[in-house]
Amino acid sequence: MTQTKKQRILQIGRLLPQLESRLAEHFDVHLLASEADPAAFLAAHGAGFEGVVTSAAVGIDNATLDALPGVRVISSFGVGLDRIDLPHAAARGIAVGYTPDVLNDCVADLAFTLLLDVARGASAADRFVRRGDWPRGRFPLGRKVSGGRLGIVGLGRIGRTIAERGTGFHLDTRYHSRRPVADAPWQYEPSLIELARWADFLVVITAGGAGTRHLIDAEVLDALGPRGFIVNVARGSVIDEAALVRALQEKRIAGAGLDVFEDEPHVPEALFALDNVVLLPHIASGTHETRQAMADLTFDNLQAFFAEGRLKAAAG
């Protein structure tokens, strides 16, 4: 019996071991990072690849994509698309798949983890106890969350899930985005500055990329004010990190909960000394269940494209 030839897939960076094993079982996969000279490898062998698998953290640059003239599909593990030039891919007729929806709950959960932590000082209180400070005095009072005002920057799939979480805390919720969302039950605020001025808690969950770079700048932080908290579970580039550090140091805002940074995995050392900021290593989707669901959809996008000519979840 004639064996069907496997499609040749270029893997840009490392992925979950179980996803790599599944891909290798069904496709002819080559890891670009295993090459001592990736550019030379692509020049010699790039024309033989039909697909690319990558991640939101790594993406694929245009130079690499241009060295792959036979590629028809990109499947990315994650929802961030700021490291893939979608118009460039579209001009080539390349389909781009990603993994939306399956991580909405975990990202929303972590947004509230950060919000509650920084408002109530949970991580700071943990350090207070571990240092042996409790016998010498009381830990400072925190900020009540329930019944407060929640501002959401970006009401996409995850933004809506965060807003829904807010109902359990009886939060008055408003949102800012490029345009009103037709069926959203929450009030739209056309001015980001005014949303920040109104909110007790400002949660950032807009897309990354050039269009939102430093959307949250010193002016927005000053509008948030000394009683306002900011949470970022979007992309580090959305916040002007230098301005945020200054605002936290000078207590011009009350605090911040950060899962993402401008130059990951590097975090400004000035933040390490501050108790009014909670720092996490980009783990919003980091649960066994969600990462498995993301891996499954990454694989399913490739399989569906080659079998049926369509993606399970297409970007754009």
Question: pLDDT tens-digit profile of 270-283?
Answer: 999 999 999 999 99
Same domain? 135 vs 213: yes
User: Is position 43 within any domain?
Assistant: yes
Same domain? 43 vs 161: no
The DSSP bridge partners found for residue 230 are 202, 256
Q: Please report, to the nearest 10 degrees, the dihedral formed by the alpha carbons of residues 84, 109, 187, 169 taken in order.
A: -170
Confidence at residue 1, expressed as pLDDT on a 0 to 100 scale: 44
Same domain? 294 vs 275: no
Residue 235 annotated in active site: yes
User: Is position 258 within any domain?
Assistant: yes
Band (pLDDT 50/70/90 cuts) for residue 67 is: very high
| Total domains present in the chain | 2
Confidence at residue 54, expressed as pLDDT on a 0 to 100 scale: 98
Strand arrangement of the beta sheet that strand 8-11 belongs to: 28-31, 8-11, 51-55, 73-77, 95-97
User: Is position 76 within any domain?
Assistant: yes
State the pTM of this model.
Answer: 0.93
User: Is position 3 within any domain?
Assistant: no
Which range of residues forms the domain containing residue 123? 104-279
**9-45, pLDDT tens digit by residue?**
999 999 999 999 999 999 999 999 999 999 999 999 9
Q: For residues 111 and 205, is the Cβ–Cβ distance under 8 A?
A: yes
Residue 214 annotated in active site: no
User: Is position 195 within any domain?
Assistant: yes
**224-255, pLDDT tens digit by residue?**
999 999 999 999 999 999 999 999 999 999 99
Measured in degrees and rounded to the nearest 5, phi and psi for residue 4 equal -65, 135
**71-90, pLDDT tens digit by residue?**
999 999 999 999 999 999 99
Answer whether residue 146 shows pLDDT above 50.
yes
From 235, 241, 262, 291, the catalytic residue: 235
Same domain? 80 vs 150: no
- Token pair 């949102």 is found at 175
Confidence at residue 5, expressed as pLDDT on a 0 to 100 scale: 87
Same domain? 182 vs 275: yes
Band (pLDDT 50/70/90 cuts) for residue 316 is: confident
Same domain? 301 vs 229: no
Residue 25 annotated in active site: no
User: Is position 215 within any domain?
Assistant: yes
From 35, 219, 264, 289, the catalytic residue: 264
Same domain? 23 vs 94: yes
Measured in degrees and rounded to the nearest 5, phi and psi for residue 188 equal -85, 135
- Report in angstroms the alpha-carbon separations of 115 from 70, 258, 283: 46, 10, 15
User: Is position 148 within any domain?
Assistant: yes
The DSSP bridge partners found for residue 173 are 150
Answer whether residue 3 shows pLDDT above 60.
no
Same domain? 55 vs 127: no
Same domain? 64 vs 140: no
